[in-house]
A and B are shown apart, each in its own frame.
Chain A
Amino acid sequence: MSAARFVVAAALISGCAAELEPSEWEFVAALPPKPPEPVDNPTLPTTVELGRLLFWDPILSGNRDVACATCHHPDFAYGDGLDVSVGIGGRGIGPRRAESIAARRTPRNSQTVLGTGWNGITTMTLPSAETAPMFWDNRKSSLEVQALEPIKSEVEMRGTSYSETTIINEVVGRLTANSEYQNRFAAAFGTDVDGGVSAANLAKALAAFQRTLVPLNSSFDRFMAGDDTAMSTAQIRGLRGFLAKGCARCHSGPMFSDYEVHQLPVGTRDGDTVDKGDGSNRFRTPSLRMVTKTAPYFHNGTAASLEDVLGFYDNNDLALTDPLLEGIEPPIGGGDGDLLLFFEALSDGEFDRQVPASVPSGLPPGGQ
């Protein structure tokens, strides 16, 4: 190699910036201390405890066999460990729930509810509790509006005994007939015109409890707060790779999601119809908080592991479906390991794992 070529090659190497400076909308950050809450539903202890009991009580389902916690269980970081969740007809929690003969599979993966109080937060904007986007397709806004939707879904909780328009009244009637719930609703919301047991207050209680399900004190959060020892060098290298390879174009902000919908060439499982997401084949960027504990991945659970997800990004031309994703590819080879270690730093936080010993209905907490 001539001296001139040597100089050119050396110049190419030295031309790379010594410091990586992502654009402002690609920043990642620690979680603020407390999610926002709506003016008419402050996060009060009485409301939260009522919400916890309701979250675990299968009385909210048509056949009294499915609770919110059935598919959002702390043993699975408030997901369910299944590719797509199983509502009515299933038995047990986690992967064994799908083994039941009568199990009805929903079309989508059960996302963790950890951090949903932060939905909508980005590095550029603080979220409003009233407009926080919900579900894989952002079809609803706010935890309060979201809370009743699974109860109305035939395959998730309602079953076939009630219609979508009658199930909420049925559930409110059951709660009204239960003296403990009556007392707890009265303590949380009063007994005036808008107080007591009602659909609105049911939604508020569930939302208030979910707002407390926040992952705290992860290695990443401690590192971002100034603890240089909270993340290993490999995890820091993984963070650099995450930013350098474009992952943060979508997985940005404190929750590692831009809360926008994007179209990826995710396949369908055999026998499934195509899920069009928001109607344009787009789904919301999932948060990467607790990501190592919430397999399988993608809206239909077609990626069994994070390695599969990285392989997906490696093998698909993402720009064909979303121009924002042009050129994105994961670090390959050894970089994969660093990236996965970085994901661990996002997933080792603490969260509320409390399971009530009993619920006011006397039914098994978490359903059958």
Chain B
Amino acid sequence: LHGTQLYIDFIARDTIQFGYQDCCMQYQSFANRGRKRLALVGLILSPAMAMATPVTDGNVSRRQVSIHAGAYAPLFFIYETPGFAMSADVAWRIGDDISTDVTATASAIAASGLRRYAGVVTAGGRYHVSPAVWLRVGMGVAGYRERIAVNLANRSVRAIDYGAALVISTGVGVDLGRWHGEARFDPNVVNGRGMDFVGTALLLLGRKL
């Protein structure tokens, strides 16, 4: 899990840095501490990207199906830890550098006294900046359902919460042979009822089928 931990750190620090830039001065020191972690992640990812096998139309299917697992965090962090996410996507090459895709992601965050389950479905397009690296933009819908449970001396506190939002999905992905890594940030553009965070950060690692 060591590699996964690095990715979680990446998300956590980047998320906090986002929070600082947006409104929260007190997180500046957190963001500064995070830069070393970001540099470390960069050191790991850069050689991997350089070694990636070139992919051409001649030796890959025009349709790619991927399944991923990874870390998830609603932005801003509402709880102490990132959650766990599963994602699947189907992509079609429609040009030398362009693909379209559909993604579906389910995630769960758990901490003492709460369970939050969230999902996001998006459709978008990928631009392949190199044979191994692509950038992605899409749109979709996100939603969550959450259960809170606290037991006090004279009161058992229970609550169910849910919410939905329209999101823009942005991401960067790396193809390493059959392995597939992706960092995604899906900011909410229209918050529906109960949506209490501004977007979702995802870091996913998976395989093409």
**A contacts, CB < 8 Å to B:** 1, 5-6, 8-10, 12-22, 24, 27-30, 123, 223-224, 226, 233-234, 236-237, 239-241, 243-245, 307-308, 310-311, 314-315, 331-338
Q: In the complex, A13 Cα to B24 Cα: how many Å? A: 28
Query: B132 to nearest A CB, angstroms?
Result: 19
Contact with A along B104-122 (1 / 0, CB 8 A): 0000111111110000000
Q: Tell whether B1 is near chain A: CB-to-CB under 8 Å.
A: yes
Distance (Å) between the CB of A146 and the closest chain B CB? Answer: 30
Q: Which residues of B contact A19 (CB under 8 A)?
A: 112-113, 149-151
For the complex, what is the distance from the CA of A226 to the CA of B114, rounded to whole Å? 21
- By the criterion CB–CB under 8 Å, are B150 and A240 in contact? yes
Contact A334 B77 (CB under 8 A): yes
From A223, A236, A333, B148 is in contact (CB under 8 Å) with A236
Per the bound structure, the CA–CA distance linking A233 and B145 in Å amounts to 12
* Bound: A12/B4 CA distance, A: 13
Q: Which residues of B contact A315 (CB under 8 A)?
A: 26, 29
| Complex Cα spacing A236 to B114, Å | 11
Do the beta carbons of A8 and B1 come within 8 Å of each other?
Answer: yes
Q: Is the interface of A mostly helix, strand, loop or mixed?
A: helix
Q: Which of B79, B111, B157 contacts A236 (CB 8 A)?
A: B157
**Cross-chain contact A332 with B77 (CB below 8 angstroms):** yes
Q: Are B111 and A332 in contact (CB under 8 A)?
A: no
11 residue pairs bridging A and B, Cβ less than 8 Å apart:
A13-B108, A18-B113, A24-B153, A30-B154, A311-B24, A314-B26, A331-B80, A332-B77, A333-B15, A333-B19, A335-B77
Within 8 Å by CB of A332, from B76, B150, B151, lies B76
B152 CB within 8 Å of chain A = yes
B176 to chain A, nearest CB (A): 13
Q: Which 8 A-B pairs have the closest CB atoms?
A: A333-B76, A20-B113, A311-B26, A233-B161, A334-B76, A19-B149, A16-B110, A236-B159
Per-residue CB contact flags for chain B residues 1-29 toward chain A (1 = under 8 Å, else 0) read: 10010000000000110010000111101
List residues 147-192 of chain B with CB under 8 A from any CB of chain A: 147-155, 157, 159-161
B69 within 8 A of A: yes
**Residue in A closest to B77 when the chains form the complex, CB atoms:** A333
Q: Are A332 and B19 in contact (CB under 8 A)?
A: yes
B67 to chain A minimum Cβ distance, whole angstroms, is 10
A contact residues around B26 at 8 Å (CB) = 307-308, 310-311, 314-315
Report B-chain residues with C-beta under 8 Å of the C-beta of A12: 84
In the bound complex, residues from chain B placing their C-beta under 8 Å from that of A8 are 1
Contact, CB under 8 Å: B78 / A29: no
Q: A334: which B residues are within 8 A, CB to CB?
A: 74-78, 196-198
Kindly report which residue of chain A lies nearest to residue B149, judged by CB atoms: A19
- Chain B residues near A5 (CB, 8 Å)? 1, 4
Task: Kindly list chain A residues whose C-beta atoms are within 8 Å of the C-beta of B27.
Answer: 314, 332
The residues of A that contact B69 with a CB separation of less than 8 Å are 1, 6, 9
By the criterion CB–CB under 8 Å, are A123 and B153 in contact? yes
- Could you say which of A1, A6, A28 contacts B152, with CB atoms under 8 Å apart? A28
Q: Closest Cβ of chain B: how far from A121's Cβ, in Å?
A: 14
